């Protein structure tokens, strides 16, 4: 396991305003809020900036995606390449870059071999149960429709998140649960951690905030509180 | 046009032995041979190492691939991202990462907008004629079967390369011609430039050479000679 | 050339209400309107119904897509398979099933070899010029955004269609021009043919019409009129 | 459950020699051997021939692939379309047409809704366990490398097939096990059923046999014998 929990992850996605120096500036803002508040933050920079952010900040970094070396075509970063660039973990099967069924199992194994935290994305409890048979480090529970939405599951169906956490605790208690999709406010973050998750994250809410530092500070309380209790 | 011709391009592809520090070491070897011989070299490092190689060497760098921002899914570097990381050019429609027909036209335009050399890969004279209607900076003429082969077109059918150059000269004389696929020796390089191309490149031959510096030195003569004459 | 021009094509797409017997019933309605009006109609049924419609009606049929045999994976119908099932033509590079740049050239050749009308879809005059270098039987000029839209190019920019027709006439006069995307009314059809096209088509407008036979009859005048004049 | 077990499935794949009338002739040969021997055969014709084979023979038919309606692009047959054409079952995630992780769960549910036998392909016991959480009707255990091989798992590692059957019996006893990949002779078929599988299949061995009827007859004994015993 390469990441410490709990944490709040900021995903830079492929937005033009998170590229290169702008992405580094965002990462430094996040680092400063972390230092001031003690809230653990993790970032998922653009792949061409992975090393930049890993070298110039002390934040853990997650690769947005990686390709199995045996499948990699020209220009696709492999698990080995993102590890060498400083990644601590990798998103596998993200709803915005889905993996084949066969590759998910291989990717979890590859992460274990390369010292990377495997974060497998699933969209339902049913898919989560299947993914647990691969023994990933972490499951990211997110519905594609919640991405960049104002009505994510954390607001509309928090009981589903709690039920997901219970299912994981029952089936494979050392797998962590991360929730994403539609987390926009401090209340959302508190609600997510109140459901028992080990990590939460956001992309659009952080990127679109008029004052990013203020937004980041506003959400830290939900994360910090959660870190005081231990799950399982 | 962001690249100076003629040049010889070394493509790092997705090989494990060209990742990170090993890729940088290879780039430095190439830079040293360039400094010693005056032969113009260009490199195509792995995307996660683009900035590393661009910042720590004086070599021009070409991105192995890039994705149009409007199509980019999580973890796919856009044209804007590779430009910010230091790329001078981009391979479009490489046989090992093909583009849709509609995207090739858009990608050439995007390169023009972002100051990137557009290098469109084609596998036949017919496809080359079609690509010329998009007015790319350079056409890479390469047959998929020639990649990593001992019997590339430069050995078996140099007249096809010459005919391709003639076609480009007739249709769109300011588009450059790059030839790849199965170039393994100094004689291959000389033959390629004797056919009238503006650039040539290799991947497996360079990576597999027992003494890479020696291999690089051995091929420079073909490139240097060519640079003394001007095409068109 | 396997299809007679002019014609109006009804595309069944993948809608549930055009599957099997329902698709055949729609085809028979189209056939009846054809017999009553003399307007030439062509249909693009679902691939699993290609033979059904080809055998049980006298309408020419176009395959919505086909795969090059050398690329075909399990369950993908090849050009040979759609020809055997009765197809007279094939859509290549449809905006809802795009082809790679390299495959477009091969697909046009494959159609020629198999006696199939090659209908290459392009979204711009620039892409049209490139496609003409492959010498297709027909170019379908359609913008993805116009599909199922109320504001297709035929309404908003008919001059672009006319300019496209002029470009094709100048470059490759024996290639036919087909226009689609947002054609919903008799006036749209008349406008399209007034721009000089050889064929037009619709999907959603035909499928959503409360009375399909009435809708079909309403549009025939625009097509019939066009057939009385000859292009070029 | 739409298929009766045990059975032996002949997969027509995308071979030119199994298209249309030739495919129907092969299906009729299979039907005749079935009638003569009592051995239950199932066929997986090309998708454009699904209805032809379903209507003109009494053989159960399996669709080589199908697409979820919500994902289907032009020319892709949906589960609804293959059901209407007469399919009794569908291969999901075949190694030659892999599905995303999220789609496998949805596809199993779709089959249940449409009365189709869901046959989920997996390449390992680990992947099999994950697939069982979706409660499919049948798991096809096949390694991609065994396809068209002379050294399939049934010859080299029959104990892995037996262990797979045991795992399925322990986890979800009403899911059936189908084995494929490298089954070429009567001895291979006997060996497969001796490992406890409910179904087996072949493609290249049947298609390449100099006398297909003789080959089919030769393998029936292994299947018939197995049907006399009951699993579980």
At C179-189, the pLDDT tens digits run 999 999 999 99
B91: contact with A, CB 8 A cutoff: yes
Contact A49 B50 (CB under 8 A): no
> For residue B48, is pLDDT > 90?
yes
| Length of chain C measured in residues | 232
Cα maximum dimension of chain A: 46
Q: 């799950």: which residue's tokens?
A: A231
* Closest CA–CA distance from residue B120 to any residue of chain C (Å): 11
pLDDT tens-digit profile of A168-178? 999 999 999 99
Mean pLDDT score of chain D: 94
Are C103 and C121 contacting, i.e. CB atoms less than 8 angstroms apart?
no
Task: Tell if the CB–CB gap between B82 and A48 is shorter than 8 Å.
Answer: yes
Select the residue of A20, A66, A74 nearest B96 (Cβ to Cβ).
Answer: A74
Dist CA C70 CA D139 (whole Å) = 28
Contact A101 D129 (CB under 8 A): no
- Catalytic residue chosen out of the listed positions A55, A142, A171, A190: A142
The pLDDT tens digits of the residues spanning C46-60 come to 999 999 999 999 999
pLDDT at site D224: 62
Which tokens sit at A131? 């993914």
Give the rounded percent of residues in chain D with a pLDDT score beyond 90.
89
For a pLDDT cut of 90, what percent of chain B falls above it?
89
Res. C222: pLDDT tops 90: no
Could you say which of B48, B50, B69 has the minimum Cβ distance to residue A14? Answer: B69
How confident is the model over A33-42, as pLDDT tens digits?
Answer: 999 999 999 9
Average the pLDDT over B88-99 and give the result.
97
Pairwise CB contact (< 8 Å): A14 & B65: no
What are B36's two structure tokens? 């010693």
Chains in contact with C, counting 3 or more C-beta pairs less than 8 Å apart as contact? B, D
Which residues of chain A lie closer than 8 angstroms to D126, CB-CB?
105, 133-134
Q: B105 to chain C nearest CA, in Å?
A: 7
CA angle A156, A160, A164 (to 5 degrees): 150
Topology classification of domain B7-231:
TIM Barrel (3.20.20)
- Any catalytic annotation for residue A142? yes
Is residue A225 predicted with pLDDT exceeding 80? no
Q: How far apart are CA C68 and CA C93, in angstroms?
A: 12
Chain B residues in contact with C70 by the CB 8 A cut-off are: none
* 3-state SS track over chain C: CCCCCCEEEEECCCCHHHCHHHHHHHHHHHHHHHHHHCCCEEEECCHHHHHHHHHHCCCCEEECCCECCCCCCCCCCEHHHHHHCCCCEEEECECCECCEHHHHHHHHHHHHHHCCEEEEEECCHHHHHHHHCCCCCEEEECCHHHCCCCCCHHHHCHHHHHHHHHHHHHHCCCCEEEECCCCCCHHHHHHHHHCCCCEEEECHHHHHCCCHHHHHHHHHHHHHHHHHCCCC
Nearest to A14 among B47, B50, B78 (CB): B78
Q: Among B131-140, B220-229, D126-135, D204-213, which stretch is predicted with the lowest mean pLDDT?
A: B220-229
Residue of B nearest to A71 (CA): B14
Give the number of other Cβ atoms within 10 Å of residue B218's Cβ.
16
Q: Could you report the per-residue pLDDT of A58-101, keeping only the tens digit for each?
A: 999 999 999 999 999 999 999 999 999 999 999 999 999 999 99
Report residue A200: phi and psi, to 5°: -145, 165
pLDDT for residue D226 is more than 90: no
Show the tokens assigned to D1. Answer: 């459950």
C-alpha distances (whole Å) from D151 to each of C2, D165, D189, D194, D223 are: 46, 20, 14, 18, 20
Which residues of chain D make contact with A98, given a CB cutoff of 8 A?
A: 100-102
Contact criterion met (CB < 8 Å) for D75 and C21:
no
pLDDT over 70, % of chain C: 96
What is the value of ipTM here, to two decimals? 0.95
Distance CA A77, CA A66 (A): 6
Question: CB within 8 A of C210, min separation 6: which ones?
Answer: none
Indicate whether C84 pLDDT > 80: yes
Which pLDDT band, with edges at 50, 70 and 90, does D194 fall under?
A: very high
Q: A72 and B21 in contact by Cβ < 8 A?
A: no
Q: What is the dihedral of CA B69, B74, B80, B84, to 10 degrees?
A: 180
Measured between beta carbons, the chain D residues lying within 8 angstroms of A126 are 105, 133-134
Token representation of residue B123:
């596998």
Q: A14 and B91: CB-CB below 8 Å?
A: no
User: How many CB pairs below 8 Å do chains A and B form together?
Assistant: 126
pLDDT bin (cut points 50, 70, 90) of residue D10 is very high
A94 is catalytic: yes
CB contact under 8 A, C52 and D49: no
Q: What is the reported pLDDT for D231?
A: 44
Whole-structure pTM value? 0.95
Tell me the domain boundaries of chain C. 7-231
Q: Do B127 and C99 touch (CB under 8 A)?
A: no
Enumerate the residues of chain D whose CB falls inside 8 A of the CB of residue C92: none
d(CA B127, CA C86): 30
A129 lies within 8 A of chain D by CB: yes
Q: Which of A17, A94, A208, A229 is catalytic?
A: A94
Q: What is the pLDDT of residue D229?
A: 52
Lowest mean pLDDT among D42-51, D116-125, D144-153: D144-153
Whether C and A touch, i.e. at least 3 CB pairs below 8 A, reads as: no
CB C48 to CB D20 under 8 A?
no
Q: Convert the pLDDT of each residue in A113-168 to its tens digit.
A: 999 999 999 999 999 999 999 999 999 999 888 888 888 899 999 999 999 999 99
* B91 has a pLDDT exceeding 70: yes
- Residue whose C-alpha is closest to residue D69's, from C14, B30, C38, A65: C14
Question: Which two structure tokens, joined as six digits, stand for A97?
Answer: 């870059």
Question: Given pLDDT bands bounded at 50, 70 and 90, which one contains residue C230?
Answer: very low
Asked if A49 and B75 come within 8 Å (Cβ–Cβ), the reply is no
Q: Of B31, B94, B98, B150, which is the active-site residue?
A: B94
Q: In what order do the strands lie in the sheet with A117-122?
A: A41-44, A7-11, A199-202, A176-179, A138-141, A117-122, A89-92, A62-63
Phi, psi of A66 (to 5 degrees): -155, 160
For B99, the closest of C100, C122, C123 (CB atoms) is: C100
Among chain A residues, CA nearest to D122: A102
Q: How confident is the model at residue C218 (pLDDT cuts 50, 70, 90)?
A: very high
Share above pLDDT 70 across residues of chain D, in percent, rounded to a whole number: 96
Output phi, psi for A138, to 5 deg: -150, 145
3-class secondary structure per residue, chain B: CCCCCCEEEEECCCCHHHCHHHHHHHHHHHHHHHHHHCCCEEEECCHHHHHHHHHHCCCCEEECCCECCCCCCCCCCEHHHHHHCCCCEEEECECCECCEHHHHHHHHHHHHHHCCEEEEEECCHHHHHHHHCCCCCEEEECCHHHCCCCCCHHHHCHHHHHHHHHHHHHHCCCCEEEECCCCCCHHHHHHHHHCCCCEEEECHHHHHCCCHHHHHHHHHHHHHHHHHCCCC
pLDDT value of position A232: 39
Query: B14–A63: do the CB atoms touch at under 8 Å?
Result: no
* CB contact A105 to D (< 8 Å): yes
Per-residue pLDDT, D148: 83
Q: How is A183-218 classified by DSSP, letter by letter?
A: --SHHHHHHHHHTT-SEEEESHHHHH-SSHHHHHHH
B14 reaches A (C-beta below 8 A): yes
Nearest to C143 by CA among C180, C113, C106, C114: C180
pLDDT value at position B1?
A: 58
Is D100–A105 a contact, with Cβ atoms under 8 angstroms apart? no
Supply the mean pLDDT for chain C.
Answer: 94
pLDDT of residue A2: 85
Q: What is the pLDDT of residues C12-23, one digit of tens each?
A: 999 999 999 999
Distances (CA, A) of C12 to C183, C219, D135: 15, 17, 34
Band of the pLDDT at D149, cuts 50, 70, 90? Answer: confident
Chains contacting chain A through 3 or more C-beta pairs under 8 A: B, D
Residue A1: what pLDDT? 58
Catalytic residues of D: 94, 142
Q: Which of D91, D102, D120, D142 is the best mutation test for A, with the most CBs of A within 10 A?
A: D102
* Selected residue of D11, D12, D14, D142 to mutate for chain C interface (largest C Cβ count, 10 A): D14
B220 at the C interface (CB within 8 A)?
A: no
* Residues of D whose CB is below 8 A from C78: 14, 16, 19
Lowest mean pLDDT among A18-27, D5-14, D138-147: D138-147
Looking at per-residue pLDDT, the higher value among B230 and B129 belongs to B129
| Chain A environment of B78 (Cβ under 8 Å) | 14, 16, 19
Interface test with D, best of C75, C98, C207 (most D CBs within 10 A): C75
Looking at the DSSP assignment, which residues form a beta bridge with residue C178? C140, C199
Q: Which residues in chain C are contacts of B104 at CB distance < 8 A?
A: 101
Residues 6 or more apart whose Cβ sits within 8 Å of residue A66: A77, A78, A79, A81, A82, A87, A90, A107, B75
| Candidate from A99, A101, A127 with C-beta closest to D127 | A101
Q: Name the minimum distance, in Å, from the CA of C61 to any CA of chain B.
A: 25
Of B100, B105, B122, the CB nearest to C126: B105
Q: In this structure, what token pair is assigned to residue A137?
A: 């480090």
- The verdict on C70 touching B (C-beta cutoff 8 Å) is no
Q: How far is D128 from chain A (nearest CA, A)?
A: 10
Contact A98 D102 (CB under 8 A): yes
């Amino acid at each position: 396991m390469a990441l410490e929990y709990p944490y709040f992850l900021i995903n830079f996605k492929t937005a033009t305003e998170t590229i290169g120096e702008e992405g580094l500036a965002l990462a430094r803002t996040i680092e400063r809020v972390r230092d001031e508040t003690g809230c653990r933050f993790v970032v998922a920079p653009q792949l061409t900036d992975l090393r930049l952010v890993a070298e110039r900040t002390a934040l853990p970094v997650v690769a947005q995606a990686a390709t199995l070396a045996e499948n990699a075509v020209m220009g696709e970063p492999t698990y080995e390449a993102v590890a060498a660039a400083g990644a601590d973990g990798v998103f596998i099967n993200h709803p915005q870059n889905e993996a084949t069924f066969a590759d998910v199992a291989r990717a979890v194994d590859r992460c274990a071999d390369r010292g990377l935290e495997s974060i497998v994305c699933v969209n339902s409890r049913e898919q989560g149960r299947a993914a647990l048979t691969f023994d990933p480090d972490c499951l990211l529970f997110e519905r594609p429709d919640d991405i960049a939405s104002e009505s994510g599951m954390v607001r509309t169906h928090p009981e589903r998140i709690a039920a997901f956490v219970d299912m994981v605790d029952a089936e494979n208690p050392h797998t962590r649960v991360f929730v994403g999709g539609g987390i926009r406010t401090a209340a959302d973050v508190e609600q997510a951690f109140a459901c028992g998750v080990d990590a939460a994250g956001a992309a659009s809410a952080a990127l679109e905030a008029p004052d990013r530092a203020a937004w980041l500070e506003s959400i830290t309380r939900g994360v910090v509180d959660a870190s005081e209790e231990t799950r399982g």
